[in-house]
Amino acid sequence: MSDSIRVMIVDDLPETRENVRKLLQFEQDIEVICQAGSGEEAIELAQTNQPDIILMDINMPGVDGIGASQQISELVPRSQIIIMSVQSDSNYLRRAMLAGARDFLTKPFGGDELVAAIHRVHDKRPAVAPPPVATQRGATGELIESVPSFSEGKIVVTFSPKGGSGCSTIAINVAVALARKNYRTILVDGSLQFGDVAVMLNMKEMTSLVDLASEANDLDTDFISSVVQLHRSELQVLLAPPRPEMAEVVTEDHIKNILDALRNMYDYIIVDTSSSLNNVALTILDTADQIILVTQQTLPCLKNVSRFLNLAESLEYPQEKIWLVVNRASDKQGISVKNISSTLKRPVVMTIPDDELLVSTAANQGVPLVTGSTQKRPVSIALSRLAEHIEKEFAVEISSDTREAAESKSSGILGRLLGGK
C-alpha cells in the first residue's frame, strides 16, 4: 500500500498524546499528522487536516470526546473515530458508538492493540463512510449496487426447537455469504436473552436491539444505521442486548416495527433466534419470508421439529415457508437424512456436514466459516450453497412476483393458535 494512514491524536494530557504517538512511531504505514488537546481543537483540526483516523479521549474538559465525535462525524465523515477510555462499561460504549465512533480501546492499551484497531477501522472505511445503508440507493430509489435488489427486503429466520442445533452458526454464515455477494444484508440477533452472535463474531456489545426498541415507533434510517455495527467481515449486525434482563424491553410491536424498518434498508435481513417460543419469537417467525428450520439426526431434535411443524400448520404457514436443513449431518448417525425427510414428509433442502473442530474454532476466533482459509471446506461450501438457495428462491420471486410475504400479519398469533382462524 502506498498511502499511509493519517492519524490525529486527541487527549487533554500531553504525556498521554506523546505515549500514543510513540506507540505508532515505527509503523511504516501510519503517520501521526496532528494532535489536539481539547474537543474544540479536535473539531477544528479534523476539518483542516482531514485525518483518516482520529484517536479520541473521552474525558476532556469543555467539549468531551463524545461531543467532539458527534460533531466530527457530521462535519468530516471521512474521518473514522476510535475512542480511547479507561471506562469500558456498555453504556459508555453505546454512547460512543451513537456519537459515531467506529471502535473502542480501553486504556491502557499496547502498541499491537492500537495498530490492529487502526488497521481494522481503516480497512473497512469505504463501506462505513458515508453512512452505510440508506445511501446505497440513489435519491430516486434507483440501485447503485449491481446486484438485483428488492423493493422490500426479505426476512430469513433460522430457528430450531432444540437449542444447540446450529441456528447461530447457519445465520452468521449465510448472512456473510449474502453480504459478500453484494446484497445489502444485515444479521439480527433475535435470541434476545442469551444471544450468541456477539461472542461468535467477536464483537463488543456497544449497541443492541434495545436501543432501537426505545424509539421503535419512530425509526429512521440514520438512527438505525447508528445502532447497527459493522463486523470486520463487512457484515452489518444488530446485536442482542448485553444482559438477559434487558430482553424484556423489546416487545412484539417493537420487533415488528424494527423488522419492517429494516425491510426498507436491506435486501436480506437474516434473523437468528433462540429455541424458546415466546411472543417475540413468534412474531419473528410470523414476519419471516423464509424459515430455516434446523435439525440434527437425533430423536429429541426430530421430535421437537415435528411438533414445531404441527404448530406451523396451526399458524397456517405455507409449506414452502419452512425449509428443513439437517446440520452436523453424518452417515454415522442412527437416523438417516432420507428417513428424516420421509418421516417429516418434506424435503431436506440442505445438509451441512459435521466438523466440530472447524466450526468451534471459527466461532472462538470470531471468523465466519465462509471467509478466509476455511471457505473451501465442506461445511463452508454447504453454508454458501444455502445462501445461494436463498438467493435463487427470491430471484424467482422477483420475476414471478407471486408471493406477498410482506403482508403476513404479526398480530393475533396466539389468538389464531388458541381460537382457530
Ligand X SMILES: Nc1ncnc2c1ncn2[C@@H]1O[C@H](COP(=O)(O)OP(=O)(O)O)[C@@H](O)[C@H]1O
Question: Which residues in this chain contact ligand X in the complex, by CB under 6 A?
Answer: 160, 163-169, 196, 327-328, 352, 354-356, 359-360, 363, 379
Q: What residue 66 binds from ligand X, Mg ion, none (CB within 5 to 8 A, per partner kind)?
A: none
Closest approach of Cβ 154 to Mg ion, in Å? 21
Angle between helices 279-287 and 252-263 (to 10 degrees): 20
Query: For residue 420, is it left (φ>0), alpha (ψ between -120 and 50) or beta?
Result: left
Does residue 130 have a cis peptide bond before it, meaning omega lies within 30 degrees of 0? yes
Closest approach of Cβ 363 to Mg ion, in Å? 10
Q: Does 354 bind Mg ion (CB under 5 A)?
A: no
Residues 300-339 that bind Mg ion (CB under 5 A): none
Report in angstroms the alpha-carbon separations of 326 from 235, 274, 291, 302, 370. Answer: 25, 17, 13, 10, 18
Q: Which is nearer to ligand X, 33 or 337 (CB)?
A: 337
Q: Which is nearer to ligand X, 60 or 197 (CB)?
A: 197
DSSP letters, 111-149, are: HHHHHHHHHHHHHTHHHHSS-TTGGGB-TTS-B-SSS--
**Cβ-proximal residues to 126 (8 Å cutoff; 6+ apart), any chain:** none
Report in angstroms the alpha-carbon separations of 47 from 44, 93, 126. Answer: 5, 25, 19
Q: Does 196 bind Mg ion (CB under 5 A)?
A: yes
Residues found in the chain: 421
Amino acid at 42: A
Q: Which is nearer to Mg ion, 39 or 242 (CB)?
A: 242
Q: What residue 163 binds from Mg ion, ligand X, none (CB within 5 to 8 A, per partner kind)?
A: ligand X
DSSP letters, 178-206, are: HHHTT--EEEEE---SS--HHHHTT---S
Q: Which is nearer to ligand X, 52 or 355 (CB)?
A: 355
Q: Does 168 bind Mg ion (CB under 5 A)?
A: yes
Closest approach of Cβ 353 to ligand X, in Å? 6
Kindly determine how many residues on this chain lie close enough to bind Mg ion according to the rule CB under 5 A.
Answer: 3
Q: What residue 363 binds from ligand X, Mg ion, none (CB within 5 to 8 A, per partner kind)?
A: ligand X
Residue 24: CB atoms within 10 Å: 18
Q: Which is nearer to ligand X, 101 or 188 (CB)?
A: 188
Q: Which is nearer to ligand X, 257 or 327 (CB)?
A: 327
Q: Does 158 bind Mg ion (CB under 5 A)?
A: no
> Where are the extended beta strands (E) located within 276-381?
290-295, 322-329, 348-353
Closest approach of Cβ 332 to ligand X, in Å? 13
Q: What residue 79 binds from Mg ion, ligand X, none (CB within 5 to 8 A, per partner kind)?
A: none
User: Residue number with the shortest CB distance to Mg ion?
Assistant: 168
Binding interface with Mg ion (CB under 5 A): 167-168, 196
